[in-house]
Amino acid sequence: MKIAIVGPGAMGCLLAAFASKAEQDVYLVDKNAERAKRIRHNGVKVEGISGDFTIKINSTAQPKEVGVCDLVVICVKSYDTEEAAKLVKDLIGEATQVLTLQNGIGNLQILNDVIGEDKVIGGVTSHGATMLEAGHVRHAGKGDTIIGKASGRVLGPIRDVAKMLSKAGFETKISKDIKGLIWSKLIINVGINALTAVTRLNNGRLIEYGGTKEVMRAAVQEAVRVAKRKRIKLAYDDPIQKVEGVAKATGGNISSMLQDVLNKKRTEIEFINGAIVRQGKALNMPTHVNEALTNLVKTIESSYEKQL
């Protein structure tokens, strides 16, 4: 399968390395030409729970050089999704499928609007990865990957994608309710990501302190109330227990939002806790804890150059 992975962040590099190792024809598409050149020269280096290895990857900042692919995987930050969707037109042919494996909500709808619902697959993954430097990632956690169409239809192309991902080491299932699963992952991120960014604690440390546990639970409860009002079916019965369990299971992981803060980069706060705030306002529901977390992370972003 010819695959273009758009965005050489932690997840993009991890998936590119695994798919290439599984003998797929893989290309990394980057908006940064210098970084693309560096990855093309040095390859992608993976360390962590899957072992240590380096593998050569075709990397480019010019989608036209890649041409039409069987699968395009969007791994950019949520705030870059619309731009990425417009830039990948040279990668998309009549039979191309476009998969999102991003955090937050809104990405699936953006891709459906720009590319067309018939070509777009939503997805969530429990694999965890930490970017150490350009093209160098630590594989920090394993778990299921679940994909599905917004329509709920299960057709041949989505089965082919699931088969390829599983062959590459991302054990993949197909769901008829991908929206519910995206929201289920969102609520986990709501409980963990912003808190790690504010406190600069690894995931597992959040449940070691009464203060962070209390804020985590309150943020999650707000998000669950919004989801229930929207009649979204979550993938677990006890959201608090699930979020705390994920924090423990990924104890040593540095969340993607904390990675962004440590690297003084823009975060995805508006697509995670901020999304709960917007959804809550639309439903006339209070989301004070998520609003506070959103404002704190946005303040950290705005004050990078002034921090001690």
DSSP-assigned letters across all residues of 96-135: EEEEE--SSSSHHHHHHHHH-TTTEEEEEE--EEEEEETT
248 a catalytic residue: no
Find the mean pLDDT for residues 65-94: 95
CATH label, 180-306, candidates 1.10.1040.10, 2.40.30.10, 1.20.1050.10, 3.60.21.10:
1.10.1040.10
Find the mean pLDDT for residues 22-33: 96
Take residue 241 and report the two structure tokens written for it. 């227990």
Q: Check whether 128 has a pLDDT greater than 90.
A: no
- The percentage of residues in the chain with a pLDDT greater than 70, rounded to a whole number, is 100
Active-site position among 185, 228, 265, 281: 185
- Provide the pLDDT confidence category of residue 133 given band limits of 50, 70 and 90: very high
Q: Where are the domains of the chain?
A: 2-176, 180-306
pTM over 0.75: yes
Take residue 210 and report the two structure tokens written for it. 């009464």
Q: Check whether 46 has a pLDDT greater than 90.
A: yes
Find the mean pLDDT for residues 52-70: 96
Tell the CATH superfamily of the 2-176 domain: NAD(P)-binding Rossmann-like Domain (3.40.50.720)
What are the beta bridge partners of residue 53? 46
- Provide the pLDDT confidence category of residue 249 given band limits of 50, 70 and 90: confident
CA angle 302, 303, 305 (to 5 degrees): 120
